[in-house]
């Protein structure tokens, strides 16, 4: 077990190195350099700035310095926001994005499992038909449309009721978080519902469920102990990719609801070509996702005794 975790972590580290290298190469392939595009500057100023950011060194040296600093957890200083560390920006934006993402994933997982189990139980009856229709809608409608509709609904509801329970935009209180995380989780929830439904239907036809039924166990117990626990496994496997989808989906939700998260900083940094911020955020996100996938795999091994975690 420990060996497995260590091996996965090592592999994860190599992956992060690959992500960092790809980011470095992509950023250095950008036409022009970080200092061009700013207002015209004299050669002396330019030389000083290049020295400050280490741009005067050969590319190989820059790459080495980048890797060493990254290993120390230092992503450098922003190009456009003077003397602001990239770490600072991540420290400020990431908790917001993470809160939003965690709420969304909790909502998506709970909703997906419950709705999926419900549709499988009422197969081909009214609840199934209605929910599956909504699921198809949820898979086909882009997240920004949901975000826009959610905001529109909030505006109308607030105007109609005369007081603001859920604010239309912004961040700060719990009430700010509810609607954006619902919107963010919706697509993933639809996907998980579909997965849960087919997995639940499969489990219903297994021998152990038939045995449990023939033993005369109460249906609630069969449902909870035998069906739900087994049907949930495939849902856990896709949680890794789902987390990735939700963190990046957060970009749009953060833009529409004016939430000061990492996604919004990233989009801003790209618009201003703030190289260090772009590289730092990308590597950070990549490392986070790699870690999440590893955790999901380990958790999967823990809850499913059939899966042996082999080193």
Partner 1 sequence: MTDATLSAAGFEPVHVDRQVQKLTRPSLSYWQDAWRRLKANRRAFISLYIVIGLLLFTVAGPWVWTVDPSTQDLDQVSKPPGSDRRAFIAEPYQPWEGLRATVPEGPASSAPPTNVKTVGTTTTQAVRLTWDPVAGAAGYRIYRNIYRPTPGGALGLPLGDVLTPDQVSFEDRLDLEPMTYYYAVLTLDRFGQALSAPASLEVKVVRVITPAQAVERKLVATEADAKVGDTLQLALHPFGTDYLGRDLLARLMTGARVSLLIGIFAPLFYVLLGIAYGSAAGFMGGKTDSALMRFADFVVALPFLLFMILFKIAFGIGPGESGIFPMLVALVLLSWPSTARLVRGQILQIREEGYIGASRLLGARTGYLVMRHMIPNTMGVILVTLTFAIPSAIFTEAFLSFIGMGVAPPTPSWGSMCNEGIRTMLTTPHELIFPAVLISITVLAFNLLGDGLRDAFDARMRSRE
Binding mask 256-285 for partner 1 (x = CB under 8 A): x---------xx--xx-x----x--xx--x
For residue 259, give the nearest of 92, 123, 15, 131 by alpha carbon: 92
Q: State in angstroms the smallest separation of the CB of 218 from partner 1.
A: 26
* By the rule CB under 8 A, 290 interacts with partner 1: yes
Question: Roughly how many angstroms between the first and final C-alpha of the chain, as a whole number?
Answer: 7
* By the rule CB under 8 A, 157 interacts with partner 1: no
- Distance between CA atoms of residues 140 and 117, nearest Å: 22
For residue 255, give the nearest of 180, 190, 186 by alpha carbon: 180
Q: State in angstroms the smallest separation of the CB of 127 from partner 1.
A: 15
Q: State in angstroms the smallest separation of the CB of 31 from partner 1.
A: 4
Indicate the residue among 177 and 292 with the shorter CB distance to partner 1: 292
For residue 197, give the nearest of 124, 304, 105, 296 by alpha carbon: 124
The secondary structure of residue 55, as a DSSP letter, is T
Q: State in angstroms the smallest separation of the CB of 19 from partner 1.
A: 6
What DSSP string runs through 28-91? HTSSS-TTTTSS---HHHHHHHHHHHTTTS-HHHHHHHHHHHHHTT---B-SSSTT-BHHHHHH
Indicate the residue among 7 and 47 with the shorter CB distance to partner 1: 7
- Distance between CA atoms of residues 90 and 283, nearest Å: 11
* By the rule CB under 8 A, 154 interacts with partner 1: no
- Distance between CA atoms of residues 129 and 290, nearest Å: 37
Q: Given candidates 6, 13, 41, 136, which one binds partner 1 under the rule CB under 8 A? A: 136
Binding mask 37-76 for partner 1 (x = CB under 8 A): ----------------------------------------
Q: Given candidates 1, 9, 30, 59, which one binds partner 1 under the rule CB under 8 A? A: 30
Restricting to residues 203-242, name those near partner 1 by CB under 8 A. Answer: none
CA 264 to chain centre: 14
Indicate the residue among 155 and 311 with the shorter CB distance to partner 1: 155
Restricting to residues 181-200, name those near partner 1 by CB under 8 A. Answer: 198
* By the rule CB under 8 A, 19 interacts with partner 1: yes
- Exposure letters 166-183 (e unless 16+ CB within 10 A, then b): bbbeebeeeebbbbbbbb
* Count of residues of this chain found to bind partner 1 when the rule CB under 8 A is applied: 47
Cβ neighbours for 144, distance < 8 A, ≥ 6 positions apart: 252, 256
Residues that bind partner 1 in the complex, under the rule CB under 8 A: 14-15, 18-19, 22-23, 26-27, 29-31, 136-137, 139-145, 148, 151-152, 155, 198, 201-202, 244, 247-248, 251-252, 255-256, 266-267, 270-271, 273, 278, 281-282, 285-286, 289-290, 293
């Amino acid at each position: 077990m420990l060996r497995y975790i260590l091996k996965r972590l090592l592999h994860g580290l190599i992956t992060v190195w690959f992500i960092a290298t790809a980011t470095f190469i992509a950023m250095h392939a950008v036409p022009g350099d970080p200092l061009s595009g700013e207002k015209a500057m004299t050669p002396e100023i330019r030389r000083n700035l290049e020295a400050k950011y280490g741009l005067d060194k050969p590319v190989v040296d820059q790459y080495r310095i980048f890797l060493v600093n990254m290993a120390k957890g230092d992503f450098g200083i922003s190009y456009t926001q003077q003397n602001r560390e990239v770490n600072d920006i991540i420290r400020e934006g990431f908790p917001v994005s993470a809160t939003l993402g965690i709420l969304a994933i909790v909502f998506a997982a709970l909703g997906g499992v419950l709705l999926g189990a419900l549709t499988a139980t009422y197969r081909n009856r009214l609840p199934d038909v209605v929910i599956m229709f909504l699921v198809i809608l949820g898979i086909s409608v882009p997240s920004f449309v949901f975000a826009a509709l959610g905001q529109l609904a909030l505006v109308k509801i607030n105007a109609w009721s005369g007081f603001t329970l859920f604010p239309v935009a912004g961040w700060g209180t719990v009430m700010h978080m509810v609607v954006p995380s619902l919107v963010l989780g919706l697509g993933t929830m639809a996907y998980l519902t579909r997965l849960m439904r087919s997995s639940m239907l499969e489990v219903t036809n297994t021998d152990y469920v038939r045995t449990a039924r023939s033993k005369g166990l109460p249906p609630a117990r069969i449902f909870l102990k035998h069906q739900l626990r087994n049907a949930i496994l495939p849902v856990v496997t896709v949680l890794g990719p789902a987390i990735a989808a939700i963190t990046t989906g957060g970009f749009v939700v953060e833009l529409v609801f004016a939430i000061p998260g990492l996604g919004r900083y990233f989009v801003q940094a790209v618009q201003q070509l703030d190289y260090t911020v772009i590289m730092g955020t990308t590597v950070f996100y990549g490392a986070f996702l790699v870690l999440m996938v590893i955790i999901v795999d380990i958790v999967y091994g823990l809850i499913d005794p059939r899966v042996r975690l082999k080193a």
